[in-house]
Amino acid sequence: MEAVALHISNGVLNGPVSAIYGVIALVALAYCVSRGRRDLDDRLAPMAGLVAAFIFAVQMLNFPVLPGVSGHLLGGAMAALLVGPWVGALCVSVVLIVQALVFADGGVTALGANVTNMALVGTAVAYLLIFLLLRVLPRTPAGLGITAFVASVVAVVAASQSFVLQYALGGTTELEHYGLGSVAGIMAGTHILIGIGEGLIAAVTVMTVAKTRPDLVYALRGLKRVQPATAQGVAA
């Protein structure tokens, strides 16, 4: 029952690549703070704290996806829908930092790589899909549920491929029995299944909030005044 390492451990990526991703993560998070400040007010701040705590809790719930393989939610799509992309990426990052520093989950030197994959790539890809889907789908609990599901699946697969890129750039082991192509294939395959699990959890969560307190759902309030500028900012 003992939980194993769920995130990238120390020593999997070499020093330079770990350091580069550390810098990328720091710069991106600083930008998220500056953009997120505009979204954060007296109501969104405690909501964002709750989203972070909730993601921490749900990340402990590994569900089986294949015989001998499990997965857990990453949380980017849920966070982006509930508190917006900038604050959402910060929520996932807070979770990853607490996990690395207190729970020995994910190496501290790998924190930049883990933040990049799950908090930055995951949330950015999810928000891009959310932005597109909510232009077509109705802004109802059902529409949000479908959006949460699709955005989760795509974002989780994107995060898994971001790891494959990191390993291609700075993996510490020369693989003897198979190449990076098959790593990409294996990661995509398991993460489609993990994404489906995450999508169901995210859909139920977001629909529940949308039904009880629609005013606390960022995607519902933000999209009432769609601005092209916002879309470009997220896509970049």
Partner 1 sequence: MKKTTWFILGGLLVALLLAGVVSNFASGSPDGLDSASTKGCTVDENDEITGGSCMAQNAKDSETADSPFADYGISGIDNAYVSTGLAGVAGVLLTFAIGGGLFWLARGRRSPAEAGERKG
Stretch 111-150 residues interacting with partner 1 (CB under 8 A): none
**64 vs 138, which CB is nearer to partner 1?**
64
Interface residue with partner 1 among 33, 146, 204, 223 (CB under 8 A) is 33
Q: Does 25 bind partner 1 (CB under 8 A)?
A: no
Q: Does 73 bind partner 1 (CB under 8 A)?
A: no
**138 vs 211, which CB is nearer to partner 1?**
211
Cα(229)–Cα(236) distance, integer angstroms: 11
Cα 105–chain centre separation: 16
Q: Does 172 bind partner 1 (CB under 8 A)?
A: yes
Binding mask 182-201 for partner 1 (x = CB under 8 A): -x--xx--xx-xx-------
Cα(191)–Cα(69) distance, integer angstroms: 11
Question: CB atoms < 10 A from the CB of 5, how many?
Answer: 13
Window contacting partner 1 (CB under 8 A); options: 17-25, 129-137, 147-155, 168-176: 168-176
Residues 6+ away with beta carbon under 8 Å from 161: 184, 187, 188
Q: Does 88 bind partner 1 (CB under 8 A)?
A: no
Q: Does 71 bind partner 1 (CB under 8 A)?
A: yes
User: Site size for partner 1, by CB under 8 A?
Assistant: 90
Q: Give the residue from 166, 176, 182, 190 showing the smallest Cα distance to 68.
A: 190
| Integer CA distances (angstroms), 170 to 107, 146, 164, 192, in order | 15, 37, 10, 24
Cα(8)–Cα(37) distance, integer angstroms: 29
Window contacting partner 1 (CB under 8 A); options: 18-26, 46-54, 121-129, 135-143: 46-54
Q: Give the residue from 74, 45, 44, 47 showing the smallest Cα distance to 59.
A: 74
- Tell me, what DSSP letter sits at residue 225? G
Q: Does 84 bind partner 1 (CB under 8 A)?
A: no
Window contacting partner 1 (CB under 8 A); options: 16-24, 52-60, 128-136, 142-150: 52-60
Least distance in angstroms from the C-beta of 196 to partner 1: 12
| Integer CA distances (angstroms), 188 to 44, 154, 159, in order | 34, 10, 9
Interface residue with partner 1 among 77, 95, 124, 130 (CB under 8 A) is 95
Q: Does 75 bind partner 1 (CB under 8 A)?
A: no
Q: Does 69 bind partner 1 (CB under 8 A)?
A: yes
